[in-house]
Structure 1
Amino acid sequence: MSRDFYSYDPQDTRDTTPRRPHREHEADVSETRTNRGSGDAPHNGREAPETLDRNVLKPEREDSPRAYYVRDRAYLLRESEIHTLSEVGRFRVVAPPDLAKYGYARDSARMERDIRRLKEQSLLTDKTLETSQRQTLRVLTLTKQGQRLLKKTNRLHEDQAIYHGLVKPREAKHDADLYRLYHKEAARIERAGGRPVRVILDYELKRDLNRDLAALGPDKDDPDAKELIAEKHRLRVVNGKIPVPDVRIEYETAQRELSRVDLELATSHYRPRGLAAKAKAGFSLYSRPEDASRLRRILNDQDLTAGILAL
């Protein structure tokens, strides 16, 4: 996520070639690993204060709309609305209460005004889904038009995937919680002097991993070949399989090197063997408060030292 969010002055995008964000560092992602996850963000098992609204929005009265063009259609958008498209597009599904907290410094009224204007321009969808135990969940997703426009603004990292639409409604709550999970971990990275650069969801990791495994053909079950594929994707083989995290954050460290951390949102539905595999893979484990005690008991019973961080 860029620190100079407002430094880009959008022009008439019909007449310009989208600019690719400049990469200051060409080094590979660091191979540093610990038993609390990959990368060097601090993990001491204790809950840490969160960093809210790391991209400080302009005062609303100063945030005038500007024209963006996609296929000869004009969209009038404020900086805060582009910010909302960026947040939702990186995670596919975001719950408005979390967006208000992390993206608008808890200014829900301003957020709702932005959501309304984005919906009116067919850039954002706002749905209420029925979840388990007859509870409901309100979620935001980009439309196809919203995805196209966000790509045109060139606001995100050049390799950042941008998602649109709701693919698995039954998993919407879990997917929406990943946005909150990201901000918890991003705060840790920033306190250590780092800067988040790119978010990679499990969709993208699984796609690339399965493509390379399929290319092995008859050798796809060969242990040595599988180890090489896992290493290529900076993952580990555990019990003959390659666990994939819910979210990977690539970030720049205080030493201006690229590193990463793999995150897993564990739930009460996890079986002991599955949770153990995630811990052995080196993922940083988070859970909802109501699930934490059971998950910690599972890890303790298997003599695993990985901690469970609170979502």
Structure 2
Amino acid sequence: MDPREIERDRPEMPRGGRGGSDPERAVERTESRDPLTRELSLPRGRAREHVRSRDWEGELRGSEVRILATAGAFRVVPMDELRRPQDRPHVHRKDVERLRAEGLVRTTPYFVGRRQTTLVSLTERGRSVLDGARRDRGGESRQSFYAGLSKPRELAHDTRLHAAYRDASRKLEGRGLRVERVVLEEELKREYQRFLQEPNRGRRESSGRPGRTAEEIARWAHNHELPVIDDHVQFPDLRIECERDDGGREIEDVEVVTPHYRGAHAAAKVSAGFTRYGAVGARFGGSSGRGRGGRGRDVRLAEEMLS
């Protein structure tokens, strides 16, 4: 048997029905709409089911799978943000504690401003469980999952990504869009670096410097719907890929603005046209990915807002 195969012990279906109570099926329908877990062959309901992955075997339920996928998609998420409005109080904390005891997540005490919280991130074992449970999407891009905390100097910024996504996704769904995937800045930059270094592969005499012309870089940025400001490709903190009812694709590029944004860096982000969210979740303005380009915006006003 393939060691990455996921196994489940499903309850016996009652006569005359499709199995499970109406509330249970409602929970499964809700979980099936979550873009972060949609491609995973893992439990969705309230009952725990048997799961076997490459280096872990145990039981999981839908709420625990959602926590794993959320922490993995954003690398790090504050504990309190893992609770949804429909969840009973403290259930998410019990789920996190159980996942931590199983070695699937790591918890880290942390201060956001003056407020103490607990950060949740995947372990390598937790990421292995998710990666081993993927369904084949027929060549479509897959949701990436990350293990471990980011660099300490970036942690204060990265802990705010999930809140910005949560706010942005509600607005997108209100416009009738369906969120398909979340792409972090590091994934976009990794793809960009592969593009830059591709001409150097296999060349022993290569200096390691990028082997691309300005025209090639501009074409790559255009194909990836990324702006170029002052000859530099601009990357959002996160990209939300969406699908319309007619099957068309839209993206929302989101930038989390912190008090450290100043000068040319802040000006470039404003000109890029990314949707900007304040460090505590307040939206500063900007535009969606549909109207990118930055012309007509007052950069000085943006810097004043960030000061």
Q: Tell me the TM-score normalized by structure 1.
A: 0.70
Greater length-normalized contact order (CA 8 Å, ≥ 6 residues apart):
1
User: Does the CA-based 8 Å contact 2:54-2:128 persist in structure 1?
Assistant: no
User: Does the CA-based 8 Å contact 1:131-1:137 persist in structure 2?
Assistant: yes
Matched, 1:302 2:300: yes
1:211-250 correspondence runs (5 A): 211-215=194-198, 220=211, 222-250=213-241
1:40-119 correspondence runs (5 A): 56=30, 63-71=46-54, 73-100=56-83, 103=84, 105=86, 107-119=88-100
Secondary structure of the residue aligned to 1:149 is helix
Q: CA offsets, 1:259-306, max 9 Å, x none?
A: 21111011121113212211222211111359978x9xxx746377x9
Q: What root-mean-square deviation, in Å, do the aligned CA atoms of Structure 1 and Structure 2 show?
A: 3.5
User: Does the CA-based 8 Å contact 2:197-2:211 persist in structure 1?
Assistant: yes
Matched, 1:256 2:247: yes
In the TM superposition, residue 108 of structure 1 has moved relative to its aligned partner by 3.8
1:98–1:130 CA distance, 2 compared to 1 (3 A): closer
1:1-311 correspondence runs (5 A): 14=3, 16=5, 56=30, 63-71=46-54, 73-100=56-83, 103=84, 105=86, 107-129=88-110, 136-154=116-134, 159-215=142-198, 220=211, 222-288=213-279, 300=298, 302=300
Secondary structure of the residue aligned to 1:302 is helix
How much identity, in percent, do the aligned residues show?
27
Secondary structure of the residue aligned to 1:68 is strand
1:180–1:54 CA distance, 2 compared to 1 (3 A): farther
Separation in structure 1 between the aligned mates of residue 258 and residue 282 of structure 2, nearest angstrom: 6
In the TM superposition, residue 243 of structure 1 has moved relative to its aligned partner by 1.1
Separation in structure 2 between the aligned mates of residue 255 and residue 93 of structure 1, nearest angstrom: 34
User: Does the CA-based 8 Å contact 1:89-1:164 persist in structure 2?
Assistant: yes
Separation in structure 2 between the aligned mates of residue 219 and residue 113 of structure 1, nearest angstrom: 48
In the TM superposition, residue 130 of structure 1 has moved relative to its aligned partner by 5.2
Separation in structure 2 between the aligned mates of residue 91 and residue 114 of structure 1, nearest angstrom: 18
Separation in structure 1 between the aligned mates of residue 126 and residue 299 of structure 2, nearest angstrom: 47
Q: Tell me the TM-score normalized by structure 2.
A: 0.71
User: Does the CA-based 8 Å contact 1:131-1:170 persist in structure 2?
Assistant: no
Which runs of 5 or more residues in structure 1 are unaligned?
1-11, 19-52
In the TM superposition, residue 107 of structure 1 has moved relative to its aligned partner by 3.3
Separation in structure 1 between the aligned mates of residue 98 and residue 298 of structure 2, nearest angstrom: 50
Task: Give the letter for the 1:265 counterpart.
Answer: V
Separation in structure 1 between the aligned mates of residue 98 and residue 69 of structure 2, nearest angstrom: 15
Separation in structure 1 between the aligned mates of residue 95 and residue 6 of structure 2, nearest angstrom: 27
1:205–1:57 CA distance, 2 compared to 1 (3 A): closer
In the TM superposition, residue 15 of structure 1 has moved relative to its aligned partner by 8.1
Equivalent residue, structure 2, for 1:42 = none
Which runs of 5 or more residues in structure 2 are unaligned?
8-26, 33-44, 201-208, 287-296
1:77–1:155 CA distance, 2 compared to 1 (3 A): farther
Residue correspondences, number = 252
Q: Which has the larger radius of gyration?
A: 2
Separation in structure 1 between the aligned mates of residue 282 and residue 260 of structure 2, nearest angstrom: 9
